[in-house]
Structure 1
Amino acid sequence: MGAHRTMIRVLMLLSWATSIGGSAVECTTVTELISFCATFISNGSPDPYPGTPCCEAVTNLYTMTHSTDNRRSLCGCLMGLVTANNSNSTAIATLPGFCGVPLGFTIDPDTDCDFVP
């Protein structure tokens, strides 16, 4: 039942986030979505894979990257999470690769979000 509730929550966030269309990416939304990956970020395992709530959340982040401004906003939000979770920043950086979702920029402390295409 817990997995079912988690999937419902992911689907609700997916539909809400895709409805924001042209508006800027909100860091609170990014943080909520990344929270589905909390176990991996905190423990380094289990590895997320496509179809899991974590990867569904990362896929939703991808749907927000339809414009340069949104990619830059998303980049800024993720860099804030990398800074806040410095000891586990590598875990955050590997999420797009594990999930097979290109975000259009590298999640790295040295990434300058102002130059994200």
Structure 2
Amino acid sequence: MGRPESFTTIGLLILLSSQLSTTFVSSAVDCSTVAQLFSACSYFISDSSVDPFPGSPCCDAMTGLNVIANSGDNRGALCRCIMGLIATYNPNGTAIATLPGFCGVSLGFTIDPNVDCNF
């Protein structure tokens, strides 16, 4: 039997592939999809002091965000969705901001509450 992380990763990839096909067609980012991808990182977001590295399923989700950010005109919309998550998960917004960097992913913008997402 496979490891639980493998099942999580496979599930995320299936979710991501189905969501990406919709994203490419409509060229709009659905913030619920972004929230679902960040949910793979919920343990890290809720208490990054316990486990200072986000782990493979979370980093797979960050890679998915990178694919979304680099498709069409999605970067600004993705930025706005992430800023909404930071506001929602305050005071853990800092953990959200650090996730792409921990996973070696650049979304093409700085995750900061003061960033202008109109690009």
TM-score bin, normalised by smaller chain: 0.7 to 0.9
Per the TM alignment, residue 15 of structure 1 is displaced from its structure 2 partner at its CA by 1.3
CA RMSD of superposed structures (Å): 1.6
Distance 1:112 1:5 in 2: 37
Number of aligned residue pairs? 113
Q: If the length of structure 1 is used for normalisation, what is the TM-score?
A: 0.88
Q: What per-residue deviation string (whole Å, max 9, x for no partner) do you get for residues 70-95 of structure 1?
A: 00010000000000011011100001
Which runs of structure 2 are paired with 1:46-85 in the superposition (5 Å)? 46=51, 47-49=53-55, 52-67=56-71, 69-85=73-89
Cross-structure match for 1:109: 113
Distance 1:107 1:91 in 2: 10
Matched residue type, 2:107: L
Distance 1:90 1:37 in 2: 13
Distance 1:42 1:72 in 2: 26
Which structure has the highest helix share of the two?
Answer: 1
Q: If the length of structure 2 is used for normalisation, what is the TM-score?
A: 0.86
Name structure 2 gaps, 5 residues minimum. Answer: none
- Structure 1's consecutive aligned runs of 4 or more residues displaced over 6 angstroms after TM superposition are none
State, as a whole percentage, how many aligned pairs show the same letter.
52
Tell me: CA distance 1:68–1:3, structure 2 relative to 1, closer, same or farther (3 Å): closer
Distance 1:74 1:15 in 2: 17
Per the TM alignment, residue 68 of structure 1 is displaced from its structure 2 partner at its CA by 6.1
